[in-house]
Amino acid sequence: MEVAVRSVFLAAPLVIVLAAACGGTTQTSPSATDPAGATAVTIANFAFGPQSVTLTPGTEVTWTNTDSVPHTVTFTGGPDLGQFGTGDSVSRTFDSAGEFDYVCTLHPGMEGTVVVQ
């Protein structure tokens, strides 16, 4: 009985570590919408992926740059989330309904849309 109890206590930290590791994967998925209220957009090959996301109010969108050059996320009429480099991320929470178009000001052919409904 004593050995079984020790096994449970040794396994508990491993379960916590595995659960924490799995929880972070939704942020890096290029098109995942997380039920916890987060959406991930990946910047790769000079494109936003997905190019358009639809979400509910209160959802946070995180853009992660996987290209080898800097990019921006700049919304029509503001805000500009600034320039960020390879491996860096920026986020914005959308609290109200609407359609929000954005571009990379460094590469104007890169366009995206956030639809909040």
The tens place of each residue's pLDDT in the chain, 117 residues long, gives: 333 333 333 333 333 333 333 332 223 333 344 445 689 999 999 999 999 999 999 999 999 999 999 999 999 999 999 999 999 999 999 999 999 999 999 999 999 999 999
63 closest CA partner among 88, 95, 46 = 88
Look at residue 38 in the predicted model and tell me its pLDDT: 84
Three-state secondary structure call for residue 52: strand
DSSP secondary structure letter of residue 8 = H
Look at residue 37 in the predicted model and tell me its pLDDT: 66
For 77, residues 6+ apart whose C-beta sits below 8 A from its C-beta are: none
By the 8 A CB rule, do 32 and 39 touch? yes
By the 8 A CB rule, do 51 and 34 touch? no
Look at residue 36 in the predicted model and tell me its pLDDT: 53
61 closest CA partner among 29, 18, 106 = 29
Look at residue 49 in the predicted model and tell me its pLDDT: 97
Q: Is the pTM of this model over 0.85?
A: no
Q: Is 113 exposed, middle or buried (0-12, 13-18, 19+ CB in 10 A)?
A: middle
Domains detected in the chain: 2-116 (2.60.40.420)
